[in-house]
Amino acid sequence: MTTTPPGPAFDALIGLSVGDALGAQFFVPATARAHLASRTDPPGPWPWTDDTEMACSVYTAHTERGAIDTFDLTHAFARRHDFDRGYGPAANRMLRLVREGGDARVLAAELFDGQGSYGNGAAMRVAPLGAAYAEDPAAVVRPAADTAVITHTHPQAVDGAIAVAVAAAYAVRARTEAMTPNTFLAAVAELTPRGAVHDGLTEAIRLLAEPDPLVAARVLGNGSRTSAVDTVPYALWCAARRLTDYPAAVWEAIAAGGDMDTVAAITGGVVAAHTGVHGIPADWVAARELLPDWAYPVPGRVRPAPVDRPGHLKPMLLPRPCPVPDVVWAEPQWRRIQEGLRPLETEQRWESYTAEGVLHLHRGWTGFEIWSVRVAPVRGGGWRPVSALAEVHPDRYKGAPDPQALARALRLAAEGYGP
């Protein structure tokens, strides 16, 4: 079960974006010295950076589907990528190549001489996802990893994302459950795979009594190497100690220097998952640049894959390749396809959903899958079917695969019945 917005996931997104935007103000040394010393707000507006842009994509994709679909999220990252938002050079190049038709999995795995990126970019965007899993923090481990490997395949980067997502889930739980900084971080470490990030969290637990953030950051790191290991333990140390006090947590996240927008985005996302939006100073929210229009999704807009009731929809028994029609779907048509056909609106004829870039078309009354159609983005915009499989098992479909029938079914999926 996940929560529906506006709720903790949205709270975490707002907290993340404010931390990101405020932290990004301190890269000018004079600003840093003057305002950090006095803890006064730098003048607004505060533009948000890549952390917020990607977090909005994670939040929107998960809210619309109630699950993580890596095909949808990959192309959301690539299409919304704004070069001027402070992405690292590797992310800029990779997202541009995906937009131009590159294979995201290959590109992500190739980064950094084939080790994959161990940067903090997967951890920085994931707190809103974690906040949706407060009922069962262990259940966010897999979806958090799925959001990470789209761009960051190195285990340290994936573990960093897992730790932040789990922390956000426990931060929501701490609204109603007694937790100390120690039990909070210990619970996060418990669900983080063993490795360098886990070791950093263990060190952070040991340092909880340390009063000086600069001393803690000297041991844990402050993101100056922009790696997950160098970023996540300190960001979560700040969040654990100040879970009920958003401004104090974010000031401490920034105080250590380093990758200040990302450390503050992680700390702010986790703490706001606990405090809610009203824990964030109103003038900070007002100073932060507005979020993009598309960051306000309709919950449940995209039909999820039917993992919870596989009994009705039955996968193909005997698939055979079938030619696909030469069509390009504009964005609204692709959105219609993602919404899926429901049996009632097609007089029981069809039921459809998308999963990982494949459109599955089932007969409404039997649940038999008749077509599955792989979809790919078109360079410059739009989507197209690139290959299809047809059911040819005689118990399920009489006759040979009919490209005309496929074209009609696809038209219905993309247009609905119309007015």
- The residues of the shown chain that bind Mg ion, judged by CB under 5 A, are 49-51, 86, 261
What is the amino acid identity at position 38? Answer: S
Residue closer to Mg ion, measured from CB, 150 or 205: 150
Q: Which residue is nearest to Mg ion (CB)?
A: 49
- C-beta of 49: minimal distance to Mg ion in Å? 3
Residue closer to Mg ion, measured from CB, 287 or 389: 287
- C-beta of 272: minimal distance to Mg ion in Å? 17
Residue closer to Mg ion, measured from CB, 84 or 395: 84
Residue closer to Mg ion, measured from CB, 67 or 291: 291
Q: Which residues pair with 389 in a beta bridge?
A: 321, 372
Q: Measure the CA–CA gap between 382 and 310, rounded to whole angstroms.
A: 31
Closest by Cα among 227, 305, 219, 302 to 262: 227
Residue closer to Mg ion, measured from CB, 20 or 391: 20
| Cβ contacts of 399 within 8 Å, gap of 6 or more | none
Torsion angle (degrees, nearest 10) of CA 258, 259, 265, 267? -30
Residue 28, sorted as left (phi over 0), alpha (psi -120 to 50) or beta, turns out to be beta
Residue with tokens 């450390």: 263
- C-beta of 223: minimal distance to Mg ion in Å? 10
- C-beta of 97: minimal distance to Mg ion in Å? 20
- C-beta of 26: minimal distance to Mg ion in Å? 12
- C-beta of 300: minimal distance to Mg ion in Å? 30
Residue closer to Mg ion, measured from CB, 261 or 339: 261
Residue closer to Mg ion, measured from CB, 9 or 260: 260
- C-beta of 226: minimal distance to Mg ion in Å? 9
